[in-house]
Amino acid sequence: MAELFVNLAEQYAKGRPSYPQQLFEFIASKTPSHDLAWDAGTGSGQAARSLAGIYKNVIATDTSPKQLSFAPRLPNVRYQLTPPTMSSAELERNVAPQSSIDVVTVAQALHWFDLPDFYQQVKWVLKKPHGVIAAWCYTPPKVNDSVEALFKPFHFVSVDPYWDASHKLMDDMYRNIDFPFEPVEGADHTGPFEFVTERLMDLDDYFTFFRSRSAYQIAREKGVEHLSDDVIEEFKHAWNEDGLDKKVVKFPVYLRIGRVGNL
């Protein structure tokens, strides 16, 4: 799966949405200090860019050098290529010393991780007891009824057999993903908390997003083209019904957030 995202790096950088400022403000409100953030699985840096406006320094890691090559270069963000698993010594060298990080974020990637191993790393690097982990995913974009009527059969029927099993955790809005952390201050649960991110898109943007999805690429590798000429024409008709070339597309975002506590 990691190799798949290497091949998708450019489409991923172009096709994926950024995340709402309200999400980052909410996360930052739960961390007593804003010195150091670790964005794990940063990909092409969508979350790291926003974190850099709040935290003094950001470490953004990924296992794909190609993904990192598309990330925005910012003075207070250090991009770091890391192996899938790290010893404590490697974690300190590549990321940060023990108990030094205010927040660990994971945007649209937690379901790919080896969770027991990753959570051990998180608990090692976070400040005790108030260090925070925040992980979120988004579910399929919402455009309008006409486009939705075409998209839903793709997502839930045609494309469904090609999703990795871990994708079901996103369909469930991370409700059932393992998340062994305490509720943050002011909350009595760890989520999911709902936000919405919006992006102005034309139909080409929409298709770029669709093509950046792992199931679409897996299907193509098996000789199945979901965006055939006929399907594209159907989408063109539905997209242009209202006469607007560009549309505000909404992506529901679901956040799990917790603090490390005293280990």
In the predicted model, is pLDDT for residue 66 greater than 90? no
For the residues of the chain, what is the DSSP string, one character each? -HHHHHHTHHHHHHHS----HHHHHHHHHT-S--SEEEEET-TTTHHHHHHTTTSSEEEEEES-HHHHHTSPP-TTEEEEE--SS--HHHHHHHT--TT-BSEEEEES-GGGS-HHHHHHHHHHHB-TTT-EEEEEEE---B--HHHHHHHHHIIIIISGGGS-GGGHHHHTTTTTS----BPPTT-SS--PEEEEEEEEE-HHHHHHHHHTSHHHHHHHHTT--SS-HHHHHHHHHHHGGGS-SSEEEEEEEEEEEEE----
Checking if the pLDDT of 185 tops 90, the result is: yes
pLDDT at 156 over 90: no
pLDDT at residue 1, rounded to an integer: 46
pLDDT at 106: 98
Average pLDDT, the chain: 89
Residue with tokens 């590549």: 94
* Residue 233 tokens, joined: 């024409």
Query: Which pLDDT tens digit goes with each residue over 187-235?
Result: 999 999 999 999 999 999 998 888 877 777 788 888 888 888 998 999 9
Edge-first strand order for the sheet with 132-138 is: 77-81, 57-62, 36-40, 103-107, 132-138, 247-259, 193-201
Virtual torsion, Cα 64, 203, 135, 90, nearest 10 deg = 10
- Share of residues in the chain with pLDDT > 90 (%): 66
8 pLDDT higher than 60 = no
Specify the higher pLDDT residue, 64 or 165.
64
